[in-house]
Amino acid sequence: MYTRVLVLRFPPDITDKPLVCRLARDFDLDFNILKAEILPEEEGLMVLELSGHKKNVSEGLKYLKAQGVKIKSVAQQIRRNEDVCIHCGACTGICPTNALTIDPETAYVNFEPSKCKGCEFCLIVCPVRAMEIKFAKEKV
């Protein structure tokens, strides 16, 4: 079983199409939607874990690209710069995998890299830019 975690960006004109369902039906792929923000007539964003035979994953990605979906691999590692973090908790509310949580006793933000899927949402909301990204060599 081959698994990829991807960030998909859907153009506004295709957000009403069942593209992800076709991945399961036509390419025999399993999917887990980790995060999705898709509204009619607006760009859609989805963080998707896709699993199946490597050939089927490749064919499914070709299909998505042909439909106009922009695909970005999440082959990267997120890390927190402890010297910069102020433990404000802004990242905890947006993290889809609960890799970032607030300790109820200390009010500090805990980060569990093993739970992180690399969606980059924490990078966007961190007011002091304590969350950093280290890219891997793998690309889509």
Give the mean pLDDT per block of 10 residues along the chain (140 residues): 86 91 95 87 88 94 96 78 95 93 95 84 92 60
Q: What is the pTM of this model?
A: 0.57
Residue 138 confidence (pLDDT): 45
Phi and psi, residue 66, nearest 5°: -65, -25
Q: What length is written for the chain?
A: 140
- Do 64 and 11 share a structural domain? yes
Last-in-domain residue among 28, 50, 73: 73
Residue 70 confidence (pLDDT): 94
Residue 75 confidence (pLDDT): 56
Residue 121 DSSP code: H
- Do 33 and 63 share a structural domain? yes
Last-in-domain residue among 30, 45, 73: 73
The widest CA-to-CA distance across the chain, in whole angstroms, is: 50
Residue 118 confidence (pLDDT): 76
Print the domain residue range for 117: 77-135
Domain assignment of residue 140, yes or no: no
Residue 135 confidence (pLDDT): 53
Question: How wide is the angle at C-alpha 96 spanned by C-alphas 95 and 102, nearest 5°?
Answer: 40
